């Protein structure tokens, strides 16, 4: 099976054979983790760098009221918490959404790779900057976009990210995210989200049914969302 983590980093710049070999060795012993399992929890001492080789995961926080805010979705090839080891404890949790193949890279090993392989270090930093850009886009959505714009924007983002790594099949994305999970990412109730999804479907822009996302009118969905892909920095990938 292809190593999507290495493929992702190769999109951010040239990696030599030694760089690829180091990354392959570091992720050579992944483990299967069941769905809805915490990889690490808020308050835990930071551990290794987690690499999602297959499956989906999410970052989240639980408020004192018991409500949940999803902070990010992680797809195959994504890694997390490159520098969290500098902190005393985790300020959020990471949980699998689906069964996931997860590799863990020990902090000492990760530091060694970054020191000895500058091209890997640069690619990792670029990936982290794109993650931060994505978070800024989410903050903008939560603060300023109307409900329908917010939902449309997230669907554009997930579809484009999935297409970049080859997860689109016949113009459809199998989206293993429940409406409750999506609502927690969008700051909405599941009932409100369901109404917005119906509105988007009736508009002819997109359809999300039985875990399958189909964008039926990309131009209309982009217009509704006010979507600009610049924060995903795909132009950087094309130039690499």
Which CATH number is 220's domain given?
Answer: 1.10.10.10
Domain count, the chain: 2
How distant, in Å, are the alpha carbons of 9, 10, 13, 124, 217 from that of 168?
20, 20, 24, 25, 16
pLDDT in tens, 98-150: 999 999 999 889 999 999 999 999 999 999 999 999 999 999 999 999 999 99
pLDDT in tens, 162-174: 999 999 988 899 9
pLDDT at 83 over 80: no
pLDDT, position 2:
85
pLDDT category at 238 given cuts 50, 70, 90 is very low
pLDDT at 20 over 70: yes
pTM score, whole prediction: 0.93
Domain co-membership, 155 together with 117? no
pLDDT at 84 over 80: no
- Long-range Cβ pairs for the range 223-229 (8 Å, 24+): 224/148, 224/149, 224/152, 224/200, 225/145, 225/149, 225/152, 225/153, 225/155, 225/156, 226/145, 226/149, 226/153, 227/152, 227/153, 227/156, 227/157, 229/156, 229/160
Helix (H) or strand (E) holding 192: helix 190-203
Of the ranges 1-10, 16-25, 50-59, which one carries the lowest mean pLDDT score?
Answer: 1-10
Domain co-membership, 10 together with 103? yes
Domain co-membership, 97 together with 168? no
Domain co-membership, 97 together with 183? no
Of 131, 158, 186, the last residue of a domain is 131
Q: Residues 184-189: what's their mean pLDDT?
A: 97
Average pLDDT value for the chain: 93
Is the dihedral angle over the CA atoms 153, 158, 163, 164 positive or is it negative?
positive
Please list, in sequence order, all residues whose beta carbon lies within 8 angstroms of the beta carbon of residue 154, skipping any fewer than 6 positions away. 141, 182, 185, 186
pLDDT, position 172:
92
Residue 15: domain span: 4-131
Of 131, 159, 188, the last residue of a domain is 131
Domain co-membership, 63 together with 157? no
Q: In terms of C-beta density within 10 A (0-12 exposed, 13-18 middle, 19 or more buried), how is residue 165 classed?
A: middle
Domain co-membership, 150 together with 86? no
Of 97, 131, 165, the last residue of a domain is 131
pLDDT, position 239:
42
Q: Does residue 138 form part of some domain?
A: no
Spatial strand order of the sheet with 31-33 comes to: 31-33, 100-105, 49-54, 79-80
């Amino acid at each position: 099976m292809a190593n999507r983590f290495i493929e992702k980093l190769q999109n951010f710049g040239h990696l030599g054979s030694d760089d690829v070999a180091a990354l392959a060795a570091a992720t050579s012993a992944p483990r299967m983790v069941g769905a809805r399992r915490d990889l690490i929890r808020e308050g835990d001492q930071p551990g290794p760098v987690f690499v999602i080789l297959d499956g989906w995961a999410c970052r989240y926080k639980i408020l004192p009221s018991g409500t949940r805010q999803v902070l990010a979705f992680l797809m195959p090839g994504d890694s997390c918490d490159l520098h969290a080891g500098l902190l005393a404890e985790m300020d959020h949790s990471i949980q699998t959404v689906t069964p996931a193949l997860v590799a863990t890279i020990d902090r000492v090993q990760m530091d060694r790779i970054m020191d000895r392989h500058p091209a890997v270090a640069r690619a990792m930093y670029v990936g982290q900057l794109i993650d931060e850009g994505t978070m800024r886009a989410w903050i903008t959505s939560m603060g300023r976009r109307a409900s329908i714009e917010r939902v449309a924007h997230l669907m554009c983002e997930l579809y484009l990210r999935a297409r970049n790594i080859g997860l689109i099949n016949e113009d459809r994305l199998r989206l293993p995210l429940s409406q409750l999970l999506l609502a927690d990412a969008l700051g909405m109730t599941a009932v409100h989200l369901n109404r917005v999804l119906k509105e988007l479907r009736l508009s002819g822009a997109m359809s999300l049914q039985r875990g399958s996302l189909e964008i039926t009118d990309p131009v209309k969905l982009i217009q509704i969302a006010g979507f600009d892909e610049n924060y995903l920095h795909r132009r950087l990938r094309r130039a690499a």
